[in-house]
Amino acid sequence: MSGVAELDRVFAVSDWTVPGLLLARSEHSPEAPALWSLAADGQWEPTDWRTYRQAVASLSSSFRKLGLTAGEPVGIMAPACREWDFAQLGVLAAGGVAVGLDPYALGEQLCAIARRCGFVGLVVADRSYLDRFDANMRQQLRFAVCLRDGDDDGVISLATLLAPASAGDDWNLALPDAPATIVFTSGTTGEPKGIEYSHRQICLAASAILSAFPQVGAESRLACWLPLSNLFQRMINLSAIARGAQTFYVSDPREIMRYVKFIAPHLFIGVPRFYEKLQAGIDAVIEQQPSWQRRMVRWALRVGQRHAAASRAGERAGLADRLAHVLADWLALSRIRGALGPNLRFMVSGSAPMPGWLLERLHAIGLPVLEAYGVSENVIPIAINRPDRFRFGTVGQPAPGSEVRLAEDGELLVRGAGVFSGYLGAEKPAPALLADGYLATGDLATIDGDGFITLIGRKSEIFKTSTGRRIAPAGIESGLQQIRQIEHAVVFGAGRARPVALLVVSEGQWQAAQQNSFSALRAQVAAVSEQMAAYQRPAGLIFSAQALTIDAGELTTNLKLRRQVIEAKHRAVLHELYARIDAAPGSRFEAWSADHQIFYCES
């Protein structure tokens, strides 16, 4: 049976619920491996589809005995692991609503989400996670379950709930249009808002993802390493159920490179920061080689870049270039790819734009990164680059189930079955929902003749300079982040004559930049700025070694910028930069601050 035909069959008999997908899969291939977990001795242990279904059925029965009824929410907070998915599907099969909680979130954020949802239960990795919720909230819980700890003090171990040998045939009480999960917006400009999605909507999203990646089949291996509070990682796990692919859990995201070669994934998802670190690791290994080997690898990379550029342009390279690429791949490129296992042919990125240089560099070694795009208010991805149809600098073409168009001001609008109906607890419809059913995404975009979508920036982030020019900071930031030493770029300048930029220099590059007074970095910034309109070029720069972090509130858990927080934390240094520019417009200067930041300005 072909992958597409099997997918259609699984969805046809799933009743369009998430537990229904598992039931259909377990009946189709009960003894095939489904999940892989690391045991205490470091060995990988498999779980087949029949055992997976039995665990979920037992948990469904146990959760109902604990008092969980239809439509009631349960929070789940733990690192990525097999038991996380057991608990999620057990809650869903009992008719409940599964809410993924970020294990790295602050206690204040967790309590705010708990109050908004009204949790009746919590499933956590261990008791220390419960301590991050206030006493009043814990007292309101009907039950608390720990994945690792034993039973006492009113806390139940997951092993106890899994004990029933059989739960009967009526274990799946989920309904297609009943709520399945609540997700929260990234909260870049305020407190995150809750959004409820049904089983049918989630199944439609999984179907759209798999339609974009028909290469994923029953023999495919997938790595689950992002926190399962991340909806896209959960969607990939559910897509694996629909296709019958195997999921390998890596609980500590920092350990993914340790295990990825064994996992040998066919599809790998990540965020731009991961791919930046991956490339930095490749460069570091190359630099450790003898000089003759470094020259050989660099030659192979140049050949790979020419070959990849020709491929992207739809051109066929000449015979000499094709032969050179075969040799370069044999000598070096295939060995570099081999660090990620033998099966990987492409990777997927989301949450933030990828720097153009990084997309081209990874494509040169034979691993194109396909950017996808979505918003919290539409559970179905809006656009996806496909392995056979991708265009760097875009987020791809619309995904099945997402109908897009542009508003008069260039804002991207989307309509479809995945669009939300309103924020949790809101009395009025969200203003982003238009009368004709379209959702205003808040993103400005262009759509080319082939349907590829290019994002320009957030409509809410656009500011006006004192000269009346409208500045979309995301476009400038994307250009500046082409410079490999720059980890983050943040542009400011509302009400000023010209924008300025905060440039966070990546770890390990600060000392090297200091040695030449940042002249090399400034030259690169100038070169990138030359490609921008004059009014977009930063008039001043702040180089900083202080990384932007989630813990400091500067980044969301999806690694999006919290601009207001960043601007507030750098208000003093920004004020000094503006004062110098105003005092001597068009002049050049350098100045060090106490926290090792440098300012530079030129006309």
3-state helix, strand, coil in the chain (%, to 5): 40, 20, 40
For 333, which DSSP code? I
Question: Which is higher by pLDDT, 139 or 556?
Answer: 139
Question: Which is higher by pLDDT, 49 or 185?
Answer: 49
Task: Show Cβ contacts of residue 325 under 8 Å, excluding neighbours closer than 6 positions.
Answer: 303, 304, 306, 307, 317
Q: What is the pLDDT of residue 562?
A: 84
Q: What is the pLDDT of residue 563?
A: 85
Which of 79-93, 116-130, 181-195, 415-429 is predicted with the least confidence, judged by mean pLDDT? Answer: 181-195
Q: Encoding tokens for residue 534? A: 């004059």
Q: What is the pLDDT of residue 5?
A: 55
At residue 590 the predicted structure's pLDDT band, cuts being 50, 70 and 90, is low
Task: Show Cβ contacts of residue 145 under 8 Å, excluding neighbours closer than 6 positions.
Answer: 87, 121, 122, 123, 124, 155, 156, 157, 158, 161
Task: Show Cβ contacts of residue 20 under 8 Å, excluding neighbours closer than 6 positions.
Answer: 13, 14, 172, 174, 199
For 34, which DSSP code? E
Residue 214: what are its φ and ψ, rounded to 5°? Answer: -65, -15
pLDDT tens track for 389-438: 999 999 999 999 999 999 999 999 999 999 998 888 876 777 777 778 89
Q: Which span out of 164-178, 375-389, 497-511, 589-603 was modeled with the highest average pLDDT?
A: 375-389
Q: How far is CA 151 from the centre of its chain?
A: 35
Using alpha carbons only, how large is the chain's radius of gyration in Å?
Answer: 25
Q: Is the pLDDT of residue 152 over 90?
A: no
Q: Is the pLDDT of residue 107 over 60?
A: yes
Q: What is the pLDDT of residue 603?
A: 45
Q: What is the pLDDT of residue 582?
A: 77
The residue type found at 167 is A
Q: What b/e sequence results for 64-103 when a residue is b if at least 16 CB atoms lie within 10 Å of its CB, and e otherwise?
A: bebebeeebbbbbbbbbbbbbbbbbbbbbbbbbbbbbbbb
Q: Encoding tokens for residue 33? A: 């491996």
User: What CA–CA distance (Å, rounded) separates 420 from 452?
Assistant: 24
Q: Is the pLDDT of residue 262 over 60?
A: yes
Please check whether residue 159 is in contact with residue 74, taking contact to mean a CB–CB distance below 8 angstroms.
no
Q: Is the pLDDT of residue 580 over 80?
A: no
CB atoms within 10 A of CB 470: 9
Q: Which residues pair with 442 in a beta bridge?
A: none
CB atoms within 10 A of CB 138: 15
Q: Is the pLDDT of residue 366 over 90?
A: yes
Which of 318-332, 529-543, 550-564 is predicted with the least confidence, judged by mean pLDDT? Answer: 550-564
Q: Give ranges for CATH 3.30.300.30 in the chain.
A: 463-601
pLDDT tens track for 7-60: 556 666 667 999 999 999 999 999 999 999 999 888 999 999 999 999 999 999
The CA distances from residue 438 to 91, 356, 376, in Å, are 32, 31, 15
pLDDT tens track for 195-243: 999 999 999 999 999 999 999 988 999 999 988 888 889 999 999 999 9
Q: What is the pLDDT of residue 597?
A: 64
What's the chain's average pLDDT? Answer: 87
For 465, which DSSP code? -
Q: Which residues pair with 599 in a beta bridge?
A: 542, 591
Q: Is 226 exposed, middle or buried (0-12, 13-18, 19+ CB in 10 A)?
A: buried
In sequence order, what DSSP letters do the residues of 207-242 get, joined into one string? HHHHHH-TT--TT-EEEE-S-TTSHHHHHHHHHHHH
Q: What is the pLDDT of residue 1?
A: 45
Using DSSP, state whether 548 is helix, strand or coil. coil
Instruction: Write down the H helix ranges in 144-230.
Output: 158-162, 199-212
The number of CA neighbours under 13 Å toward the Cβ of 167 is 25
Angle between helices 519-529 and 473-480 (to 10 degrees): 130
Q: What is the pLDDT of residue 371?
A: 95
Please check whether residue 144 is in contact with residue 150, taking contact to mean a CB–CB distance below 8 angstroms.
no
User: What CA–CA distance (Å, rounded) separates 370 from 392?
Assistant: 8
The CA distances from residue 3 to 215, 243, 246, 266, in Å, are 8, 7, 14, 14
The number of CA neighbours under 13 Å toward the Cβ of 121 is 31
Q: What is the pLDDT of residue 19?
A: 96
Homologous superfamily, domain 3-202: ANL, N-terminal domain (3.40.50.12780)
Q: Is the pLDDT of residue 103 over 90?
A: no
User: What CA–CA distance (Å, rounded) separates 114 from 133?
Assistant: 8
| 369-461: CATH architecture | Roll (2.30)
Q: What is the pLDDT of residue 560?
A: 78
pTM: 0.85
Residue 168: what are its φ and ψ, rounded to 5°? Answer: 80, 180
Q: Which residue in this structure is represented by tokens 């006492």?
A: 152
Q: What is the pLDDT of residue 211?
A: 92
Q: Encoding tokens for residue 186? A: 């990234």
State whether CATH 3.30.300.30 applies to domain 463-601.
yes
Please check whether residue 547 is in contact with residue 561, taking contact to mean a CB–CB distance below 8 angstroms.
no
Share of the chain above pLDDT 70, in %: 91
Mean pLDDT, rounded, for 348-365: 89
Residue 379: what are its φ and ψ, rounded to 5°? Answer: -70, -25
Length of the chain equals 603
pLDDT tens track for 268-326: 999 888 898 898 889 889 989 999 999 999 999 999 999 999 999 999 888 898 999 99
For 354, which DSSP code? P
Q: Give ranges for CATH 2.30.38.10 in the chain.
A: 369-461
Q: Which residues pair with 471 in a beta bridge?
A: 463
Mean pLDDT, rounded, for 158-186: 86
